[in-house]
Amino acid sequence: MSSIPPTEKPVSKLPDRPILPTYSWRTKSSNAQLFYIRDHHHVNLTIPRLRNGPLGFDLEWRPNFIKGQLENPVALVQLSNEDTILLIQISAMTEFPNKLRELLEDPGRVKAGVGIQHDCKKLYADWSISVRNCVDLSLLARCVDNARWKGRYVEPIGLGRLVETYEKLSLPKGKIQRSNWEAQLSTVQQDYAANDAHSGFVIFNRFAAMAHVMDSVPNPTYYSFNAINGCLLDSSGVPWNPSNPEYDPGPPLPPKPPKPPRTPKATTTTDVAAVKASTSISIQVNRSPHKPGTSFEK
């Protein structure tokens, strides 16, 4: 059967987004070393490899697939600088490593990631660990590149989007994000976790360079906080709520068009018959009420 030719012109298709190369810590830092550690003694010996300076920071835990079930405890701590990446599987350890605790609580070391407020609160809830000098890269992006990023100041910008924008690379997530982080990690899991922490370090350094040439350097309280005993505080110990009085959100979004009124459904003969049948059954049931003290069984 021949098809009928269309009477309307086809809608022009938007150009496809370019396919970007995939981010890889191995390519980005060819001399970097990855350490996957499941023993707290080994962690204490390896932490000094993270020389002074900022760190990319992230956490992972085994997901739940049952609605309403409590989250599983933090299983993996990821830390990275340019040449060293530590994947510390604390769920496999008999105790939390002392050197890791000292590093996380060190106010002189930046720990940078996207939306890490919840992560830091959870780390305290699960392991009683505080984290100082935390930097939310999403907020920092809005501080140093406000011309690009508009909208609500606290609207999150994903790490993948930041990597795509500033590194011209893709940071795929996929199903691996929802895998079991308490089990022995596969090579794919290790690379995923390493890329998250390493790219956080790379993006922080890029933003730091951008801030350095700004006429007015952003106040650190606009994008950084301390997570002490599960509470988010600024450097003076005051409860921290992300805000930036210098931020320009741009023009407000246009209001959404009102929803069209719903057309009432027309009543059919079948609907009327169903209502009558339901009413008849209800009347018959009500005529033989159950007497207290008697059994419902015949």
**Cα 113 from chain centre:** 10
**What distance in Å separates the CA atoms of residue 175 and residue 59, rounded to the nearest whole number?**
17
Question: What secondary structure letter does DSSP report for 153?
Answer: T
Residue closest to 113 by CA, chosen among 176, 50, 54: 54
pLDDT tens, the chain, 298 aa long: 444 444 445 544 545 667 899 999 999 999 999 999 999 999 999 999 999 999 999 999 999 988 888 999 999 999 999 999 999 999 999 999 999 999 999 999 999 999 999 999 999 999 999 999 999 999 999 999 999 999 999 999 999 999 999 999 999 888 888 899 999 999 999 999 999 999 999 999 999 999 999 999 999 999 999 999 999 999 999 999 999 999 999 998 788 788 888 877 665 666 556 555 555 544 454 444 444 444 434 3
Residue in this structure with the two tokens 């590093």, named with its chain if needed: 103
**What distance in Å separates the CA atoms of residue 233 and residue 129, rounded to the nearest whole number?**
15
**φ and ψ of 211, to 5 deg:** -65, -35
**φ and ψ of 87, to 5 deg:** -110, 105
Give the pTM: 0.80
Domains of the chain: 25-233 (3.30.420.10)
**What distance in Å separates the CA atoms of residue 103 and residue 161, rounded to the nearest whole number?**
28
Residue in this structure with the two tokens 């995923």, named with its chain if needed: 192
Beta-strand (E) ranges in 5-155?
33-37, 55-61, 74-80, 84-88, 111-113, 131-136
Residue 263 CB-density burial (10 A; 0-12 exposed, 13-18 middle, 19+ buried): exposed
**pLDDT at residue 269, as a whole number:** 62
Q: Which residues contact 190 (CB under 8 A, 6 or more apart)?
A: 34, 36, 87
Q: Which residues contact 43 (CB under 8 A, 6 or more apart)?
A: 37, 86, 88, 93, 97, 99, 100
Q: Are the C-beta atoms of residues 181 and 75 closer than 8 Å to each other?
A: yes
**pLDDT at residue 17, as a whole number:** 66
**What distance in Å separates the CA atoms of residue 158 and residue 136, rounded to the nearest whole number?**
11
**pLDDT at residue 280, as a whole number:** 52
Encoded amino acid at 270, one letter:
T
- List helix spans (H) across 47-116: 98-104
Question: What secondary structure letter does DSSP report for 177?
Answer: G
**First CA to last CA distance, the chain:** 65
**pLDDT at residue 77, as a whole number:** 99
**pLDDT at residue 91, as a whole number:** 98
**pLDDT at residue 285, as a whole number:** 45
